[in-house]
Amino acid sequence: MGGGGGGGDGEPEFQIAPMIDVLLVLLVFFVVITSAEVLKVDKGLTLPVSPNAKERDPEMAKSEMAINVRWDQGTNKGVLVVDDKVYDNWEDLVPYLEARNKSNQDTRGTSVRVVVRGDKGLPAGEVQRIMNIIGMAGIADIAFSASNR
């Protein structure tokens, strides 16, 4: 009689418990990795649709930061949200952007890339306004987010 948990015919038995452990560890890993990205999504924002929108490059995502700009119909003003903080005075964002850019240059050696996630109904003047704010912070790498659906 040999050991190893086999049946009576000498074949080893498949152990399901270690496989479940591995799957649970992988599940937790992917939940932790993606939760930071999900937090950046603004539920009140409807991105413009572009059939030519491309997937985001994962390598570029390491030095990106998102700026969400919603259009408030009630006040006829753009609402600026960065890292879950609403900026009433958009110029107050400049020191924060400068600090993020400097931090990124110190750690990665490149300047931060700002992804503007503008609402579908956002007027062009508001887009120009946020681009000026980003430029005042010394950031030249600006991208715009769109959906392909």
Domain range enclosing 127? 58-144
Structural domain total, the chain: 1
Examine residue 114 and state whether it is found in any structural domain, yes or no: yes
Examine residue 63 and state whether it is found in any structural domain, yes or no: yes
CA–CA dist 6, 84 (Å, integer):
56
Tell me, rounded to whole angstroms, the distance of Cα 56 from its chain centroid: 10
Examine residue 93 and state whether it is found in any structural domain, yes or no: yes
Examine residue 19 and state whether it is found in any structural domain, yes or no: no
Examine residue 52 and state whether it is found in any structural domain, yes or no: no
Examine residue 74 and state whether it is found in any structural domain, yes or no: yes
Examine residue 39 and state whether it is found in any structural domain, yes or no: no
pTM over 0.95: no
Q: What is the CATH number of the domain that holds 124?
A: 3.30.420.270
CA–CA dist 140, 32 (Å, integer):
31
Examine residue 2 and state whether it is found in any structural domain, yes or no: no
Residue by residue, pLDDT tens for the chain (149 residues) are 455 555 566 777 888 888 899 999 998 888 776 655 544 566 666 777 777 777 777 666 677 888 999 888 888 888 898 888 899 899 999 999 999 889 888 787 788 889 898 888 889 899 999 999 999 999 988 888 877 76
